[in-house]
Amino acid sequence: MLNSARSHGLWELTAPPAPETAELLGSIRVDAAIVGGGYTGLSAALHLAEGGANVALLEAVEIGFGGAGRNVGLVNAGMWVMPDMLADMLGDDYGERLLRLLGDAPKLVFDLIDRHRIACEVERAGTLHCAVGLKGLRELEARAAQWSRRGAPVELLNAKDTEAKVGSSAYAGSLWDRRAGTIQPLAYARGLAGAALNAGAKIFTRSAVTSAGRIDGKWKLQTAAGHVIADRVIVATDAYATGPWSEVRAEQIHLPYFNFATQPLSDNIRASILPERQGAWDTNEVLSSLRLDRAGRLVFGSFGALRGTGAAVHRSWARRALGKLFPRIGEVRFESEWYGLIGMTDDHLPRFHKLADNVTGFSGYNGRGIAPGTTFGRLLALHALGQLDEKDLPLPASAPTKPSFRSAKTAYYEVGAQLLHLIEARR
């Protein structure tokens, strides 16, 4: 996309073609307009169209251009925040409702994949949260206990069982979440777009919204070559927001996250690394993630941006880190590399915003975009259709707020990750 090999990397190379879309030209009138063509916006468009609404989605670049097309592809349940802490922060009513919703969110993703026959390399073997040392193991013990009390199908594995599932002796244990899995994230976004189009939604790409205003009680969304008149607007731009309602971007600290994909591993090596095809990540503060794609490429990532000196530093670190995790892998050769932005809120929880009259949106996914984005998009559609009352949403309405020292923190995380990986690469 945009002729940049480092924007979507392996996913752009291996995803099925995007459905045909075009720039908005002229004027259209719809019931609901959606701004943003990621998981939230595409899910909202699909569910609105299936509910009988006349809906148009406006995407500034291409389908899945933002976080939806760049991430690792882990379809996780819940959020980063511990289950009990989430309930404490939001109160029992909202907290437990959000936990139930996000606990079931991977199932919604997999159901949509099945129902619409989306070709996105889906694997349903769960995910492994891997413990680094005793501190990491204690964290996972607490997570396991809190999820188990809520009936979630999670299992705490010891070091031996973790080694069997990961193929590395580096971890003290792991939390296996059977609800979760992996997908090819850009392929899933494109598949959602195709499903929404088939349901009757209109999707316009290269159609950034430049301004928004009220006319006779309706919303007018202006693009470079046209405009949309809509009764309601759903804002689904999150960390890549520009133009009107870009405050949802400004309320987040941006963490860059990169991925490297190896060449396809040989059959004997592939059989010993993540043999059941779980996706995995560790408990380090500057975490690492790993997974295989359908062709046997090992995808390995961590915090950092592949720009300037960062590209060489993170590449060198990734080769050394993979060599430590899997000594038998031999010389590590990367086939593609890419990075994107994770939007982090100050409390690591998502937000529900009423940005204006009849303008709503969820944002702030904190690195958990696939399942929450799909689920929140569906909820926004049900709310717009009048089938779900605001009081029954999983989050209370809040106004966007800008975190203190936002720009400095964003720069700190990028530079800090590079320094850490520079030091580790030389050990």
pLDDT tops 70 at residue 3: no
pLDDT digits (tens, 9 = 90+) for 221-257: 999 999 999 999 999 999 899 899 999 999 999 999 9
For the chain, the distance separating the N- and C-terminal CA atoms, rounded to the nearest angstrom, is 36
- What is the rounded distance in angstroms from the CA atom of residue 299 to the CA atom of residue 283? 18
pLDDT tops 80 at residue 405: no
The pLDDT assigned to 413 comes to 79
Q: pTM higher than 0.75, yes or no?
A: yes
> Each residue of 113-137: b (16+ CB within 10 Å) or e?
beeeebebbbbbbbbbbbbbeeebb
pLDDT digits (tens, 9 = 90+) for 37-54: 999 999 999 999 999 999
Helix (H, G, I), strand (E, B) or coil at 173: strand
Query: Measuring CA to CA, which residue among 106, 94, 41 is closest to residue 67?
Result: 41
Interval 295-300 mean pLDDT: 98
- What is the rounded distance in angstroms from the CA atom of residue 340 to the CA atom of residue 307? 11
The CATH number of the domain covering residues in 5-126+179-392: 3.50.50.60
The pLDDT assigned to 323 comes to 94
**Rg of the chain over CA atoms, in angstroms?**
21
pLDDT digits (tens, 9 = 90+) for 169-203: 999 999 999 999 999 999 999 999 999 999 999 99
The pLDDT assigned to 257 comes to 96
pLDDT digits (tens, 9 = 90+) for 58-67: 999 999 999 9
- What is the rounded distance in angstroms from the CA atom of residue 95 to the CA atom of residue 313? 40
The pLDDT assigned to 19 comes to 97
Interval 402-418 mean pLDDT: 83
pLDDT tops 80 at residue 412: no
The pLDDT assigned to 409 comes to 77
Query: Measuring CA to CA, which residue among 250, 238, 281 is closest to residue 377?
Result: 238
Interval 149-170 mean pLDDT: 97
Interval 274-289 mean pLDDT: 96
pLDDT digits (tens, 9 = 90+) for 96-112: 999 999 999 999 999 99
Rounded to the nearest 5 percent, the helix, strand and coil shares of the chain are 40, 25, 35
- What is the rounded distance in angstroms from the CA atom of residue 110 to the CA atom of residue 369? 15
Provide the residue type at 67 as one letter.
G
Q: Which long-range contacts (CB under 8 A, 24 or more apart) does 213-219 make?
A: 214/357, 219/33, 219/358, 219/359
Q: Where are the domains of the chain?
A: 5-126+179-392, 127-178
> Each residue of 221-243: b (16+ CB within 10 Å) or e?
bbbeebbbbbbbbbbbbbbbbeb
The pLDDT assigned to 351 comes to 95
Strand ranges (E), 236-383: 253-262, 279-282, 288-292, 298-303, 334-344, 351-356, 359-363
pLDDT tops 80 at residue 95: yes
The pLDDT assigned to 2 comes to 67
- Give the angle 297-314-366 at the CA atoms, nearest 5°: 80
* Sign of CA pseudo-dihedral 388, 389, 395, 398: positive
The pLDDT assigned to 231 comes to 98
- What is the rounded distance in angstroms from the CA atom of residue 359 to the CA atom of residue 223? 18
Mean pLDDT of the chain: 95
pLDDT digits (tens, 9 = 90+) for 6-28: 999 999 999 999 999 999 999 99
The pLDDT assigned to 113 comes to 98
The pLDDT assigned to 334 comes to 96
Interval 264-284 mean pLDDT: 96
The pLDDT assigned to 411 comes to 82
Query: Measuring CA to CA, which residue among 52, 9, 53, 79 is closest to residue 367?
Result: 79
